[in-house]
């Protein structure tokens, strides 16, 4: 009987992680907060708790399929794009846009290592400005 309960619990965790992963997929490219992920996932499973969302998001971050983004404002955001890339944040509307990492020349990383006197293993670059949509609205 105990082994049956364990199997059911494992299936539930898998189902919940699948629902959360689907919510992330629906929010693809939007760099959602945990609250946005929770709201999307809860629409599919009203029994889902916010602690379950946190736990599963942290698990996905640990696996490397989701990246935790801090410093994009007051809220932590999550990025389902594990490929190296940078971010642009609109200072008007808060939109976050991915920018390919290959725009950063390797020479810049070498210069940064030299200036810091350290070996750089990873880096994040955030550009801030006004997005094209806000720019259009401001010109009307």
pLDDT in tens, 91-126: 898 888 999 988 877 888 899 999 999 999 888 888
| Domain boundaries, given as residue ranges, for the chain | 1-80, 83-140
1-80 — its CATH code? 1.10.10.10
pTM of the complete model: 0.71
- The rounded percent of the chain whose pLDDT value lies above 70 is 87
The answer on pLDDT for 10 being more than 50 is no
**Residue closest to 100 by CA, chosen among 84, 114, 88, 89:** 84
Distance, in Å, from the CA atom of 33 to the CA atom of 63, rounded to the nearest integer, reads: 19
Instruction: Tell the CATH topology of 83-140.
Output: Dna Ligase; domain 1 (3.30.1490)
């Amino acid at each position: 009987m105990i082994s049956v309960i364990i199997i059911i619990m494992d299936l539930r965790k898998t189902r919940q992680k699948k629902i959360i992963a689907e919510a992330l997929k629906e929010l693809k490219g939007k760099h959602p907060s945990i609250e946005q992920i929770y709201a999307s996932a809860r629409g599919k499973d009203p029994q889902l708790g916010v602690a379950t969302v946190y736990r599963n998001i942290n698990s996905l971050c640990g696996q490397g399929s989701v990246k935790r983004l801090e410093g994009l404002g007051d809220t932590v955001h999550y990025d389902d794009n594990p490929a190296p890339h940078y971010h642009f944040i609109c200072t008007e509307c808060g939109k976050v846009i991915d920018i390919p990492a290959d725009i950063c020349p390797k020479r810049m990383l070498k210069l940064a290592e030299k200036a810091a006197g350290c070996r750089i293993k990873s880096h994040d670059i955030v550009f801030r400005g006004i997005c094209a949509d806000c720019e259009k609205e401001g010109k009307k």
